[in-house]
A and B are shown apart, each in its own frame.
Chain A
Amino acid sequence: MHVIQQEIVTNLRDMANCGMAPSQMLREVLQRYNLEEPRSAFLVWHWYEAFGLDATHVHSIFGWYAFPLGTGELSDAQVDYFLGRHLKNADWPGKTSQAVAHE
Chain B
Amino acid sequence: MGPHGEERRELKLEIRNGRVIDPRHGIDRVATLYVAAGRVAALGAAPSGWSANRTIDATGLVVCPGLIDLSARLREPGFEYKATLESEMRAAVAGGVTSLACPPDTDPPLDEPGLVEMLKYRARSLDQAHVYPIGALTLGLQGAELTEMGELTEAGCVAFSQAEAPLTDTGVLLRAMQYAATFGHRVWLRPQDPYLAKGGIAHDGEVATRLGLAAIPPAAETIALATIFALVRLTGVHVHLCRISTAEGVAMVRAAKAGGLPVTCDVAIHHLHLCDVDIGWFDAQCRLIPPLRGTRDRAALRAGLCDGTIDLVCSDHTPVDDDAKQLPFGEAEPGATGLELLLPLALKWAAKDKVPLPEALARITSRPAEVLRSPAGHLGVGAPADVCLFDAGVLWRVEPAALASQGKNTPFLGLEVPGKVRMTIVGGHVVHEESTCWE
- A, B assembled together: no
Q: What is the interface of chain A, defined by CB distance below 8 A to chain B?
A: none
